[in-house]
Amino acid sequence: MKHCTQHTGILTIIERATSSRNGNPRYVVRLDGITCRTGVDAALGYSITNFDGKEVTATIGTHYGTVTIEDVREVVK
């Protein structure tokens, strides 16, 4: 992954994308004004729905030219 940056904001799931070749779920999400996807065959595809509408901190970068979200953690106040 290249050009990784850390962002904090409300995570919104825009849509469920086409599943990976192995059948794992993928999502298109928006965080801090950036639209990105979960990685192919990433475990995050199964847990990202738990963060919908919540304030999170996440790492966003590019992977083979696709803006990808990784390492999502809920902000605890």
pLDDT for res 15: 97
The amino acid that residue 51 corresponds to is F
pLDDT for res 18: 93
Q: How many Å apart are CA 75 and CA 62, to the nearest integer?
A: 23
Question: Could you say which architecture CATH assigns to the domain 2-74?
Answer: Beta Barrel (2.40)
Strands (E), 1-52: 2-10, 12-17, 26-31, 34-38
Ranges under pLDDT 70 in the chain: none
Distances (CA, A) of 2 to 41, 52, 58, 62, 66: 18, 25, 15, 5, 10
Domain residue ranges of the chain, discontinuous segments joined by +: 2-74
pLDDT for res 2: 84
